């Protein structure tokens, strides 16, 4: 042990500076830390390591050069999703590249193969993701399973977030709910439990998106927004990490647009947690805690009726603005207490197992003061689904509300043995009488033509937006770049500001001109805007649909009632 004189002679450490860090090549390997801004939707760069994500770059080709990387779609805790061009079939697809340390996720491939095989025999199969191709790639971080699936747009959850007041129109909500129920019925008919159903894993299909060529695609959703990756120690990047990280493309459909679409079709995705119902060996899922069935909290086997519970919670989110069970801190006990507040007492054998009951309840079983019930009861929650304070003014008639309330109550039952199956839910009065009739048909080829017309019309504006983005990105990078002096930083910022002013002025002039001349048919009732990362939101669907209806009317004699 050092004496006091030695301690007094210890010199303080100099201030830390990444540029002064010297790393000996003889050091054992360590995990590098990357310097990057928290760009929207970018994955954790620390996952680029042995057993982790595969470093992917725009323009790369995979599987004998068949699939060319075009854009970023998103990421999950165990995979990255890319928009790729299938150069053999000449269409756009979703390419999901799993992490190298996920050998068990070959189960996802096997289950996708299973639900792809018998699709022709079930109408609900069109609402379920299919497997187009799969292959293995080997990279610096290991071997990665790659799954090729049809391209889709934003999730129902993202779309709801774009709506006010965070819910879709009633007709759209009914259609989405019916499609999800029919899709889940098909999944269960294959002997599969999805295990992770949520509004985040229900995506909208965008007609015509798969058929666009590369130039049209970039005009519609924007070119990749790439950000340079650097290490904090200023050492060169290794092969395990990409040179650029990419923000995902924005493929939003908001409420106004969904109202114009004759058939807002969905697709159920993400089978990473799925398992065969006959296996009887699952007692834990990675589903969001607010959607988990109660049997998981008490370590009982999971099965198809676990999907019934999660499906009921998801239907409430689709039909209403709020989830029925909520917790801010991921607290299982808070969710259980919330369930009791909504549904009543737990079954006796679960009540005895629940160690935290004394936190919420007195010895006589009553709620402790200030502890509950924390949220609305099931009846109170379901009343909001009628979308009105009085039956005279509610969007939903009372007979429909009663039928839907009956369905949800039969799905949200504590004991899984007493819950109805998804097949029984599809056969319910509300689904058959109100939900399924709201599923209609659209004309994808006509939508594709209108989409291409929209791309041509707005190509000059989009090129201007790309130039502005480059200037803004340069100005942002200059703020943290030690190689530029203050005058250079000031000039870059001034240049970006000038481009912004020019862009805004041109847009105002164009909107005024269009308003006077009525150049754009079916002009939307709000200004077209772009998100900060330059990915083009799908805000012009109202244009297509109005033009679509107009052309359809002309083709049938031009009468509005045709």
DSSP string, 55-80: ---TT-EETTTTEEEEEEEEE-SSEE
Phi, psi of 127 (to 5 degrees): -100, 15
Calpha distance 271→60 (Å, rounded): 26
For 60, how many CA atoms within 13 A lie in the half-sphere containing its CB? 15
Q: Where are the beta strands (DSSP E) in 108-260?
A: 133-139, 142-150, 192-193, 202-204, 225-228, 230-231, 244-247
Do the domain assignments include residue 507? yes
Convert the pLDDT of each residue in 74-132 to its tens digit. 888 889 999 999 999 999 999 999 999 876 558 889 999 999 988 877 888 999 999 99
Q: Which residue range(s) make up the domain with 501?
A: 459-537
Ranges of residues in the chain with a pLDDT under 50 are 1-29, 442-443, 445-447, 450, 453-454, 457-458, 461-462, 514-549, 552, 554-562
Do the domain assignments include residue 468? yes
Do the domain assignments include residue 266? no
Question: Do residues 241 and 48 make contact, with C-beta atoms less than 8 angstroms apart?
Answer: yes
Nearest-CA neighbor of 18 among 39, 38, 37, 32? 32
Q: Where are the beta strands (DSSP E) in 450-545?
A: none
Whether a cis peptide bond, with omega within 30° of 0, leads into 373 is yes
Phi, psi of 361 (to 5 degrees): -130, 150
Radius of gyration of the chain, Cα coordinates, nearest whole angstrom:
27
Nearest-CA neighbor of 163 among 176, 152, 150? 176
Domain count, the chain: 1
Give the pLDDT of residue 357.
Answer: 92
Nearest-CA neighbor of 264 among 147, 163, 385? 163
Do the domain assignments include residue 471? yes
Do the domain assignments include residue 516? yes
Calpha distance 202→194 (Å, rounded): 12
Give kind and range of the element (H or E) at residue 81: strand 79-86
Residue 432 burial (CB count, 10 A): 13
Do the domain assignments include residue 512? yes
Do the domain assignments include residue 470? yes
Calpha distance 235→230 (Å, rounded): 8
Do the domain assignments include residue 162? no
């Amino acid at each position: 042990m050092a004496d006091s004189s030695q301690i007094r002679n210890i010199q303080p450490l100099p201030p830390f500076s990444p540029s002064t860090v010297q790393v000996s090549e003889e050091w054992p390997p360590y995990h590098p830390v990357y310097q990057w801004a928290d760009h929207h939707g970018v994955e954790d760069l620390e996952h680029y390591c042995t057993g982790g994500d595969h470093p992917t770059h725009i323009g790369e080709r995979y599987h004998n050069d068949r699939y060319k990387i075009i854009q970023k779609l998103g990421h999950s805790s165990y995979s990255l999703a890319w928009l790729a061009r299938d150069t053999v079939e000449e269409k756009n697809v979703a390419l999901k590249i799993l992490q190298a340390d996920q050998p068990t996720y070959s189960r996802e491939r096997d289950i996708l193969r299973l639900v792809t095989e018998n699709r022709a025999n079930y109408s609900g199969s069109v609402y379920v993701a299919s497997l187009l191709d799969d292959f293995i790639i080997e990279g610096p971080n290991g071997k990665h399973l790659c799954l090729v699936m049809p391209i889709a747009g934003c999730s129902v959850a993202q779309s709801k977030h774009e709506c006010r007041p965070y819910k879709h129109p009633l007709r759209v909500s009914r259609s989405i709910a019916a499609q999800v129920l029919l899709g889940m019925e098909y999944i269960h008919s294959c002997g599969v439990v999805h295990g992770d159903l949520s509004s985040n894993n229900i995506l909208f299909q965008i007609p015509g998106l798969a058929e666009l060529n590369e130039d049209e695609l970039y005009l519609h959703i924007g070119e990749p927004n790439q950000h340079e990756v650097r290490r904090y120690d200023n050492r060169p990047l290794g092969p395990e990490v990409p040179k650029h990280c990419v923000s995902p493309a924005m493929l939003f459909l908001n409420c106004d647009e969904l109202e114009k679409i004759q058939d807002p079709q969905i697709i159920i995705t993400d089978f990473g947690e799925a398992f065969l119902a006959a296996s009887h060996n699952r007692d834990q899922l990675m589903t969001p805690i607010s959607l988990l069935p109660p049997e998981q909290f008490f370590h009982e086997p999971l099965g198809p009726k676990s999907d019934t519970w999660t499906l009921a919670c998801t239907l409430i989110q689709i039909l209403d603005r709020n989830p029925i069970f909520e917790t801010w801190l991921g607290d299982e006990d808070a969710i259980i207490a919330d369930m009791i507040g909504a549904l009543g007492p737990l079954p006796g054998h679960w009540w005895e197992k629940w160690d935290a009951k004394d936190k919420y309840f007195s010895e006589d079983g009553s709620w402790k003061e200030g502890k509950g019930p924390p949220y609305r009861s099931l009846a109170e929650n379901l009343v909001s689904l009628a979308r009105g304070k009085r039956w005279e003014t509610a969007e939903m008639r009372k007979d429909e509300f009663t039928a839907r309330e009956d369905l949800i109550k039969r799905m949200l039952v504590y004991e899984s043995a007493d819950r109805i199956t998804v097949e029984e839910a599809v056969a319910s009065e509300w689904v058959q009488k109100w939900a399924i009739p709201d599923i209609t048909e659209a004309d994808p080829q006509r939508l594709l033509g209108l989409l291409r017309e929209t791309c041509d019309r707005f190509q000059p504006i989009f090129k201007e937006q790309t130039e502005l983005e480059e200037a803004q990105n340069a100005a942002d990078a200059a703020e943290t770049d030690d190689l530029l002096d203050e005058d250079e930083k000031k000039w870059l910022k001034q240049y970006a500001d000038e481009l912004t002013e020019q862009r805004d002025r041109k847009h105002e002039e164009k909107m005024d001109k269009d308003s006077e001349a009525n150049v754009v048919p079916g002009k939307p009732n709000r200004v077209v805007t772009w998100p900060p990362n330059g990915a083009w939101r799908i805000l012009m669907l109202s244009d297509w649909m109005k033009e679509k209806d107009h052309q359809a009317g002309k083709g049938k004699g031009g009468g509005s009632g045709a």
